[in-house]
Amino acid sequence: MNKTEPRIPSHLNFIAIEGVIGVGKTSLCELLAESWNGRLIFEEVDENPFLPKFYEDRKAYAFQTQLWFLLSRYRQLSEAVVQQDLFHRITISDYLFAKDRIFANINLDDDELQLYNHVAGTLEAQIPRPDLVVYLQASNEVLLRRIARRGRPYEFNIDPTYIGLLNEAYNHFFFHYDKTPLLVVNTDNIDFMSDRGDLEEIVEQMVNIRSGVTYYQPLRSRDKAAINNRRTPEK
């Protein structure tokens, strides 16, 4: 970002970036942390020993995978609250603890879900809520392209139907989400990793939100160029 980037508002101390697998939430976290000298909390995806087996056989390994993630997320966020950080003004996480229920509702059977909800409810009550949640949206096709591009071996067996289910479940969850201020960003036509303008526009939206839900539909790069060309006076 450039020298005119918005400062971190005083009301933002903890931000969670969310979205379906492959949407770019971790990348956005890294860019924000670099710009704002933020403390990062990354979901421990690669450390979950059940995840590769889950993608091969979802039914057989769903509960183990889900419980491992639940406890890992609880430990991370609990430690983040207890351990004060004098060197970072803001904490940025690439997940929202409450969204764990999305996966549980999709992947667990009734008995497993009942036990999961009992454990999750106890743990969630002890986790602080973010000051802002940013939900990055993308179509199924875009998500699958981004997953293939990053080339993680254990994701090679991801069923496209499962991505569709996740995407629908995420949209439903955040359509009804009202626990914190929420920014919903459609990322189909932007690339904030390579286009600093796209990143700056997302940040501008973030710092201006105080309450409620804001939906942000960025313009395509070529549409921006066309608008700028129209604004440029002819010589």
Supply the residues annotated as catalytic.
Answer: 94
Whether 20 and 163 have beta carbons less than 8 Å apart is answered as yes
Task: Give the 3-state secondary structure of residue 201.
Answer: helix
Using alpha carbons only, how large is the chain's radius of gyration in Å?
19
Q: DSSP character for 155? A: G
Burial label for 179, CB within 10 Å (0-12, 13-18, 19+), is exposed
The sign one gets for the Cα dihedral 94, 100, 102, 104 is positive
Which helix (H) or strand (E) is 15 found in, with range?
A: strand 14-19
* Maximum pairwise Cα distance, the chain: 72
Angle at 167 between CA 28 and CA 208, to 5 degrees: 40
Identify which of 4, 48, 21, 183 has the alpha carbon closest to the alpha carbon of residue 103.
21
List the structure tokens of 68.
């491992």
What's the DSSP call for residue 3?
A: T
Instruction: Enter the DSSP assignment of 128.
Output: P
